[in-house]
Amino acid sequence: MLGRPLHPDPSVRPAPLARPNLGGSWPVQSSGHHQGSAAQTAGAPVPAPAVDHAVARHIKTQVSKQLEALLKTNKTMSQDSQEQRCRSWINEAVALWSDATAAERGISPTAAEDAALSRAVFDLLFRAGRLQPYLDDPRVENILINGPSDVWLDFGQGQRERVAPVADSEEELLEMLRELGRSGEQSEQNISTAQPMLARRLADSSRLQAITAVSPKTYVTIRRHRVQHADLNDMIALGAVDSTLAAFLSACVKAEKNVMIAGKQAVGKTSLLRALLKEFPAEERFATIETEFELFAHTNGYHQQVVALETRESNGEMGMDGRGAGEITLLDLMPPALRMSLERIVVGEVRGAEVVAMMQALTNGKGGNLCTIHARRPDIIFDRIAELYVLAQSNLSEQLAYRQIANGIDFIVYVDMVDETKIGGSRHRFVTHVLEVTGMGESGRPATNEVFAPAPQFGEPRAVPRMHPACLDDLRRVGFPAALLDERSGTWQAPLKLKVTAS
C-alpha cells in the first residue's frame, strides 16, 4: 500500500477545478487542501495527502481504454501483467497531471501527493476504489456506509469514527457496488431497483451487505475478518480463553467430539472456530460448508486436504420446482460432501434452514464435526435450534430437533462480549460456558453438564472449570490432564478487570 487512510472532517469536501485540454484534459486539484481532523483512535496513522477523486476517475477512464485496446490483441494476458502494465500507464498519467498542476499552482505536487493519486487510480481499476484504504487498515473491524458521504469505521476496541466519503453521489456508490458485484471468484451479482440487495465476499474476504431502492439511501455494511489465521495460542493472547480451556477444547477436537460454538453476532465465534480447525491434523481430509467463505481453511497454508464448498444464490429466475434457478443451498451441498471420503465436516454460520444441514453433519459419521450458531444466551441454544428446525420445513418438529441435538452434539461452547466503550472502557470477547450434552433428559429436552462457567464469587465473568465431563476418559486418552479441571479459577492470572462488576 502506498498510503494510509485519510480521516478528514467530513463536512469539508474537496472542490475540483476544471482545466482545459492539456495532453488529455483532466480536472486539476484545488490548491486548498482538504484538512483532515486528527484520528481519535490510539496509534492512528498520519493522514495521507488528499486526493481529488475527479482526477482519479479521469485517469482511470483513460487507462481503462488503454487496457481494453491491449486486451483485444493479447487476450491471454495474465492479471499480474495487466496490473504491471497499468501501473506504468498510471504513473505516466500522474506525471502529466503533476506537471499541469505545477503550472496551475506555481508549486509542484509532492511525491506523497503523486503516490496517493496513483494508488487511488489503481484502487479504482483493480481493487475496491475509495473503499480500499479502509479495507487496508488493520484496525478496522466494520465499515458502515449510510449513503455516499456518511461513512463510519468501527475499530476493534469499540471506537467509532466518521471518515471521508467513498463516493460523490448515490449513482457513483451504486456503480462501485456493481463493480464489486462483478469482481472476484463468485458468480456475478448486480444491485439495482429490480435487485435491491447485494451480498458479496470481497477480495480480502471481508463480507459486504448492501441494500438500495427500498431505503431512502444506499446502505452498506462491510464486516472484516481481523483474526483470520489464529490458533488457540492466539486465542489465549487475545483473552478469549485461558490455557486450561484451550487445552480442553483441543482435547475435544482430538477426541472427535462434535462441538457447536454459539453466541451473539460479532463476538468471535468464527475466530474461535478457525482456531479449533488448527487442532485437526494437517493431513486430515475434511469439508467446510459455508454460505460465504469465512473459515479460510483451504487458503491458510496449514491444512492439506480441505474440500471447501460455498453456496450459490439464484440468478433471479424461478425454476420448475419453485426454487431460484441456479441456487445451491447448504442442504444441497451435504449429500455430495458425504461422498468425498471425509473424516470431518465443518458447517459455518447457521442462520436459518441450513440448521438441517448442520444437524445432518453432526449426526453423520464418526464425529469430530464443528459448527457455529447465533444465540443470545447459553440457556436458549436448544430452543434456538428447535425454532430454526420448525421454520426450515413444515414436517420437522421441536421434538425431532431435541432428539437430534442429544444424538449429535457433544459440547456447546458459548462466546460472549462485554462492551464498556460507552463508559470509557474496552470490548472484551471471551468464552463464558462449555456445556456437555449427555443425552435426553426426563423433560424431553437435552440434558447437560456445565463443565465451564463464570465464577461470580471470584468476580470472574470468563469460563473457569466447574466439573468433570462425563466423557473425561475420552479426553484423557488424547492427552488431556484431568487435574486441570480441579483448578477452580482456571489459569487466569486475575479476574477480568471491568469498569462495572457484579455487586
pLDDT digits (tens, 9 = 90+) for 220-235: 999 887 777 889 999 9
**The predicted structure's pLDDT at residue 317:** 65
**The predicted structure's pLDDT at residue 318:** 63
How confident is the model over 312-326, as a mean pLDDT?
68
- Give backbone dihedrals phi and psi of 353, rounded to 5 degrees, phi first: -65, -15
Q: Are 42 and 162 in the same domain?
A: no
Q: Are 362 and 351 in contact (CB under 8 A)?
A: no
Residue 265 is assigned to a structural domain of this protein: yes
**The predicted structure's pLDDT at residue 165:** 93
* Residue 45 in this model has a pLDDT that exceeds 60: no
pLDDT band for 373, please (50, 70, 90 cuts). Answer: very high
**The predicted structure's pLDDT at residue 25:** 40
Question: What is the grid cell recorded at 247?
Answer: 487445552
Residue 22 is assigned to a structural domain of this protein: yes
Residue 157 is assigned to a structural domain of this protein: yes
Q: How far is CA 30 from CA 14, 18, 101, 244, in A?
A: 8, 10, 9, 60
Residue 492 is assigned to a structural domain of this protein: no
* Residue finishing a domain among 72, 98, 126: 126
Residue 500 is assigned to a structural domain of this protein: no
Q: Are 301 and 361 in the same domain?
A: yes
Question: Of 19-23, 105-109, 145-149, 417-421, where does mean pLDDT reach its minimum?
Answer: 19-23
Q: Are 309 and 173 in the same domain?
A: no
**Residue 21 burial (CB count, 10 A):** 7
How confident is the model over 257-278, as a mean pLDDT?
95
**The predicted structure's pLDDT at residue 314:** 74
* Residue 46 in this model has a pLDDT that exceeds 60: no
Which residues, at least 6 apart from 151, have a Cβ–Cβ distance to it below 8 Å?
A: 10, 134, 143, 144, 145, 162, 163, 164, 165, 166
Question: Of 47-56, 292-301, 492-501, where does mean pLDDT reach its minimum?
Answer: 47-56
Residue 165 is assigned to a structural domain of this protein: yes
pLDDT band for 41, please (50, 70, 90 cuts). Answer: very low
Question: Order of strands across the sheet with 151-155?
Answer: 160-163, 151-155, 140-146, 219-223, 207-211, 197-201
**The predicted structure's pLDDT at residue 315:** 65
**The predicted structure's pLDDT at residue 27:** 42
**The predicted structure's pLDDT at residue 430:** 98
**The predicted structure's pLDDT at residue 212:** 97
Q: Are 291 and 151 in the same domain?
A: no
Q: Are 102 and 182 in the same domain?
A: no
* Residue 47 in this model has a pLDDT that exceeds 70: no
How confident is the model over 466-495, as a mean pLDDT?
96
* Residue 214 in this model has a pLDDT that exceeds 60: yes
How confident is the model over 138-156, as a mean pLDDT?
92
Q: Are 441 and 345 in the same domain?
A: yes
3-state secondary structure of 228: coil
Q: Are 373 and 352 in contact (CB under 8 A)?
A: no
**Residue 275 burial (CB count, 10 A):** 26
H helix intervals, 409-471: none
**The predicted structure's pLDDT at residue 401:** 92
Please name the residue that has the C-alpha cell 444441497. 332
**The predicted structure's pLDDT at residue 156:** 74
Question: Of 8-22, 262-276, 414-428, where does mean pLDDT reach its minimum?
Answer: 8-22
Query: Pairing mode, if any, of strands 207-211 and 219-223?
Result: antiparallel
Q: Are 205 and 239 in the same domain?
A: no
How confident is the model over 484-497, as a mean pLDDT?
94
Residue 86 is assigned to a structural domain of this protein: yes
CATH code of the domain in which 417 resides: 3.40.50.300
CATH code of the domain in which 199 resides: 3.30.450.90
pLDDT band for 30, please (50, 70, 90 cuts). Answer: very low
Q: Are 339 and 370 in the same domain?
A: yes
* Ramachandran quadrant class, 259 (left: phi over 0; alpha: psi -120 to 50; beta: rest): beta
Containing domain of residue 200, as a range?
131-226
* Residue 110 in this model has a pLDDT that exceeds 60: yes
**DSSP string for 382-421:** HHHHHHHHHHH-TT--HHHHHHHHHHH-SEEEEEEEEE-G
Query: Pairing mode, if any, of strands 411-419 and 259-263?
Result: parallel
Q: Are 117 and 87 in contact (CB under 8 A)?
A: no
Please name the residue that has the C-alpha cell 442442504. 331
Residue 491 is assigned to a structural domain of this protein: no
pLDDT band for 24, please (50, 70, 90 cuts). Answer: very low
pTM of the model: 0.76
How confident is the model over 450-475, as a mean pLDDT?
96
- Give backbone dihedrals phi and psi of 273, rounded to 5 degrees, phi first: -60, -45
Q: Are 440 and 426 in the same domain?
A: yes
CA-closest candidate to residue 270, choices 225, 212, 213: 225
**Residue 445 burial (CB count, 10 A):** 16
Does 92 or 501 have the greater pLDDT score? 92
* Residue 316 in this model has a pLDDT that exceeds 90: no
Does 353 or 236 have the greater pLDDT score? 236
Which residues, at least 6 apart from 468, have a Cβ–Cβ distance to it below 8 Å?
A: 451, 482, 485
Q: Are 198 and 93 in the same domain?
A: no
Q: For the purposes of burial, counting CB atoms within 10 Å of the CB of 263, is it exposed (0-12), middle (13-18) or buried (19 or more)?
A: buried
With the C-alpha atoms ordered 348, 293, 319, 340, is the resulting torsion angle positive or negative?
negative
Does 253 or 331 have the greater pLDDT score? 253
Which residues, at least 6 apart from 125, have a Cβ–Cβ distance to it below 8 Å?
A: 60, 63, 64, 67, 86, 90
Q: Are 358 and 350 in contact (CB under 8 A)?
A: yes
How confident is the model over 56-63, as a mean pLDDT?
95
* Residue 400 in this model has a pLDDT that exceeds 70: yes
Question: Of 34-48, 321-335, 342-356, 415-429, where does mean pLDDT reach its minimum?
Answer: 34-48
Q: How many domains does the chain have?
A: 3
* Residue finishing a domain among 126, 157, 188: 126
* Residue finishing a domain among 191, 226, 261: 226
**The predicted structure's pLDDT at residue 17:** 31
Report the percentage of the chain scoring pLDDT > 90: 64
Q: How far is CA 289 from CA 110, 310, 347, 348, 357, in A?
A: 49, 6, 5, 6, 9
**The predicted structure's pLDDT at residue 101:** 92
Q: Are 254 and 354 in the same domain?
A: yes
**The predicted structure's pLDDT at residue 321:** 62
Q: Are 171 and 201 in the same domain?
A: yes
* Residue 404 in this model has a pLDDT that exceeds 60: yes
The overall average pLDDT reported for the chain is 86
